[in-house]
Structure 1
Amino acid sequence: MSPDQIQVFKQKALQYAANFEVCSYLDSHNYSDRYGKHDCLIAFGAKEELSVCTGQAFSDLKAFVNEHRDWMFGLLSYDLKNEVEALETPKTDLLNFPDLYFFVPQYLISISKNQINVLKGDKALVDKILQLKIEEEPPTVPVNIKSRLSKQAYLDQLESIKQHIKRGDVYEMNFCQEFFDDHAEINPSSIYNKLKEVSPTPFSGFFKIQDRFVLSATPERFLAKNGNQLTSQPIKGTAKRSENPKEDSQIKTALRNSEKEKAENVMIVDLVRNDLTKSAVKGSVKVDELFGIYSFPQVHQMISSISCELSPDVHFVDAIKNTFPMGSMTGAPKLRAMQLIDQYEVSKRGVYSGSLGYITPSGDFDFNVVIRSILYNSTNKYLSFQVGGAITYQSDSEKEYEECLLKASAMMSVLSNN
């Protein structure tokens, strides 16, 4: 198929899959040459399901994987941190996602290099989807986005956090704030299509569990396994794009040379190296790329890549647990940063800064970081997205607030035009 035909098929396939109670649509937007084997994976219909709360969730996942040894798609909530460390999350949850959810799909379609392959289900499925008519956009209701924190409250919290950094409690802490609408009526697949049009990213995803939806335009990989190699690619360092090519190039160069951004990035690289060491063959952890600059529609990002050889004595689910939650969304040292996050953030993170991804029958996997993502519960009409950034002692509080708004821009734009 031509690239244009593939795009039409993707839209129809998402429309078809979203009619099922459970579905996962993962789209790398042609970044797959750099990031993985599949440009798009569309899984729908739950043959088997695992839905559990924090406690023994990773053990339950290991048992689920060992029992089924099949394709599975799922999410890991940030609050699984409470299972990894002695932490709590005493905050109100209005989205009600499971802490950990995976399903074995009845149907699975892969798109790679403009080829469509049915990996699970009848081959006639492709023709059935191609014959669909793309539904007209439903009438929309304006979304009224509110901030959980006022700008001044955000700035005050940052100053308190910087005092912790000054005292040496942490070197760096990821601090996030929530934007929400508690009476939102949206068409999730329509909003996701708009989001990925505005912000096509390598780890984009649409995930549905009955009445709950994740609409993600994340550029970040949490952890992938290919054979016996584990790879993590944390993002730390963000700069706004410019429509002026010369100015855009200057912004990119300034990001590459920023001592502040490099200092933030290398702290998380060191943290990830330490996390990977828990699962690695001794001496195999290495930094494949440090301070790589990658460009996306709204932003330039500084991305580093760290890998290791998975020890044959470590189950791959334990390798996920050993690195969870991802250092780019916590800070360093990790435990103290998470304690301060619990203390200073006013909203429960839930799926935000958790992960979406898949596991193959052979035990390979790929998981993203749930950022730049809209979360929605269609029953209670609660819509939420969070944004944040790494706070160091050198951080300029006003600029950190501006960076939050920049990261929110794609989501704001699709919801305001809803």
Structure 2
Amino acid sequence: MIIEISDVAVFKQKALAWAAQFDTLCYLDSNSFNDPYSKFDTIIAVGAKAEIMASAGNAYAQLSAFRSANPGWITGFFGYDLKNETENLQSNNPDQLDFPDLYFFAPETLISINGNEVEIIGENEEEIWETIERLELSHDKQQHAINLEPRFSKPEYIESVEKIQQHIIRGDIYVTNFCQEFYADDAVIDPLSIFSNLNNVSPTPFSTFFKWRGNYIMCASPERFLAKRGSKLISQPIKGTARRDADEAIDKTIIEELRNHPKELQENVMIVDLVRNDLTHSAKPGTVKTEELYSIQSFKQVHQMVSTVVCELRDDVSAVEAVKNTFPMGSMTGAPKISAMQLMEQYERSKRGVYSGAVGYFSPDDDFDFNVVIRTLLYNSTKKYLSFHVGSAITYHANAEQEYEECLLKAKAILEVLGGNKKIV
């Protein structure tokens, strides 16, 4: 059924509150960002009539079979450590979250929002609509401050960056994404309230609230990993970050500095080249092109440098294979890709898991859209373990102390929402 609504913001709040009562939920919100490649403003997938959970090994083959059996909507995530399935790599760092490498489900109910038009697909559509409409919104629960602990002290982080730069000098890699985890044990949170506050503090075009079996992904990602629109593949890597300023004149100056910063331009173009190479594995010959280079997108917390790379998908490559051929995304690995992933396994202190992975959907027309899991809280409610990673690109010209500060800038919204230590040193 299709309904027109007058207050989209209130309906989204009510629909999410209704959906959060179920064991399985995927909420994807564009937060009204204008994007030529987005097909929906908001998607809410609720309840699992079928699901798949897999570890690296034959996860993509299992997903292909699951997709064949469920050709309608499916939503889910790819974990970063699926890299071990496609390359001779390992993930031996500690993992406290215990999330699977891959999880997808076919929803019992699918709600999509476009403009002021809502479509509900599933059984008892009228009843669902009336239930959501009647729902009384409650105030967000008061969250006790959560103090996060870093896996690296600042001196340890700086020392690690300087060691990584020695690998760059030796020619082992050109650029890498070095990530660190912040975590809290015995954390008791209300995930829906945390996500709602995060989405308010940092609205982004790929915001996600994902729930299954007591596990949660609360994501404020600004970045698209890969989308398929008909026969076209689109990847939009982000490399280059600068702070926002309340003073408009200063803010414009910051944008110009980002647009012309040699280090930011260097890391962006290196990742664009890597993405172009990744897409050739799925592309019709001669169709890979950079549609936009060094575009600046401004969000509530930061400015980002975004490029757009596209290609035409070969007829013999399935949608699942197109993801496999490109994953993990170059913006979260480095170049050369395999060498960078090997080195980061050596220098990082925790398994990335869903972080650096992707959340999104496959639709009935076999299109798909997946984000990059960054600016994201991950929570295992059974273990009461709360985690988020943050990373930055390390190049020859990188300044280790500035990279550490960039990590904290990217973490700003999450630290604000948790209400604990505003500054980790």
* TM-score strictly above 0.5: yes
Are the counterparts in 2 of residues 173 and 390 from structure 1 also a CA contact under 8 Å?
A: yes
Match of 2:17 in 1: 15
Q: Secondary structure at the match of 1:250?
A: helix
How far is 1:362 from its partner?
1.6
Matches within 5 A, 1:367-382: 367-382=370-385
1:143 and 2:146 are equivalent in the alignment? yes
Deviations 1:219-252 (A, max 9, x none): 0000000100000000000000000000000000
Q: Secondary structure at the match of 2:165?
A: helix
Are the counterparts in 2 of residues 331 and 337 from structure 1 also a CA contact under 8 Å?
A: yes
Are the counterparts in 1 of residues 239 and 305 from structure 2 also a CA contact under 8 Å?
A: yes
Aligned amino acid, residue 395 of structure 1:
A
**1:417–1:120 CA distance, 2 compared to 1 (3 A):** farther
1:385 and 2:388 are equivalent in the alignment? yes
2:271 to 268, 290, 303: 268
Q: Secondary structure at the match of 2:320?
A: helix
1:253 and 2:256 are equivalent in the alignment? yes
- Mean alpha-carbon deviation: is it higher for 137-146 or for 21-30? 137-146
Aligned amino acid, residue 334 of structure 2:
G
Unaligned runs of 5+ in 2: none
Q: Secondary structure at the match of 1:92?
A: coil
In 2, Cα distance between the equivalents of 1:23 and 1:384? 20
In 2, Cα distance between the equivalents of 1:33 and 1:345? 34
Q: Secondary structure at the match of 2:221?
A: coil
Match of 1:93 in 2: 95
How far is 1:369 from its partner?
0.2
Match of 2:348 in 1: 345
Unaligned runs of 5+ in 1: none
Q: Secondary structure at the match of 2:325?
A: helix
**1:28–1:417 CA distance, 2 compared to 1 (3 A):** farther
Match of 2:173 in 1: 170
- Mean alpha-carbon deviation: is it higher for 174-183 or for 26-35? 26-35
Are the counterparts in 2 of residues 144 and 184 from structure 1 also a CA contact under 8 Å?
A: no
Are the counterparts in 2 of residues 71 and 105 from structure 1 also a CA contact under 8 Å?
A: yes
Deviations 1:225-284 (A, max 9, x none): 010000000000000000000000000011111121111000000000000000000001
Match of 1:119 in 2: 121
Match of 2:228 in 1: 225
Aligned amino acid, residue 287 of structure 1:
T
1:53 to 52, 55, 61: 55
Q: Given the two structures, how large is their TM-score scaled by the length of structure 1?
A: 0.98
Q: Secondary structure at the match of 1:323?
A: coil
Are the counterparts in 2 of residues 171 and 333 from structure 1 also a CA contact under 8 Å?
A: yes
Match of 2:287 in 1: 284
In 1, Cα distance between the equivalents of 2:86 and 2:26? 26
In 2, Cα distance between the equivalents of 1:225 and 1:121? 28
In 2, Cα distance between the equivalents of 1:159 and 1:322? 32
Are the counterparts in 2 of residues 188 and 215 from structure 1 also a CA contact under 8 Å?
A: yes
How far is 1:115 from its partner?
1.0
Deviations 1:43-91 (A, max 9, x none): 1100100011110001111111112111000000000000011111112
In the alignment of these two chains, the number of paired residues is: 418
Matches within 5 A, 1:184-199: 184-199=187-202
In 2, Cα distance between the equivalents of 1:139 and 1:391? 38
Q: Secondary structure at the match of 1:138?
A: coil
**1:311–1:324 CA distance, 2 compared to 1 (3 A):** same
Aligned amino acid, residue 388 of structure 1:
G
Q: Secondary structure at the match of 1:75?
A: strand
Deviations 1:372-401 (A, max 9, x none): 000001111100001111100100111000
2:73 to 71, 89, 92: 71
Match of 1:109 in 2: 111
**1:157–1:254 CA distance, 2 compared to 1 (3 A):** same
Match of 1:328 in 2: 331
- Mean alpha-carbon deviation: is it higher for 7-16 or for 22-31? 7-16
Are the counterparts in 2 of residues 273 and 286 from structure 1 also a CA contact under 8 Å?
A: yes
1:239 and 2:231 are equivalent in the alignment? no
Are the counterparts in 2 of residues 32 and 39 from structure 1 also a CA contact under 8 Å?
A: no
Matches within 5 A, 1:304-319: 304-319=307-322
Match of 1:180 in 2: 183
Match of 1:36 in 2: 38
How far is 1:126 from its partner?
1.9
How far is 1:141 from its partner?
2.8
How far is 1:411 from its partner?
0.3
How far is 1:2 from its partner?
9.3
- Mean alpha-carbon deviation: is it higher for 118-127 or for 13-22? 118-127
1:401 to 401, 404, 407: 404
Aligned-pair Cα RMSD in Å:
1.4
Aligned amino acid, residue 181 of structure 2:
E
Q: Given the two structures, how large is their TM-score scaled by the length of structure 2?
A: 0.96
In 1, Cα distance between the equivalents of 2:22 and 2:322? 31
How far is 1:193 from its partner?
0.2
**1:3–1:153 CA distance, 2 compared to 1 (3 A):** farther
Are the counterparts in 2 of residues 175 and 388 from structure 1 also a CA contact under 8 Å?
A: yes
How far is 1:34 from its partner?
3.5
Match of 2:418 in 1: 415
- Mean alpha-carbon deviation: is it higher for 370-379 or for 5-14? 5-14
Q: Secondary structure at the match of 1:261?
A: helix
How far is 1:120 from its partner?
2.8
Match of 1:27 in 2: 29
Deviations 1:293-329 (A, max 9, x none): 0100011000000000000011121110010000000
Q: Secondary structure at the match of 2:56?
A: coil
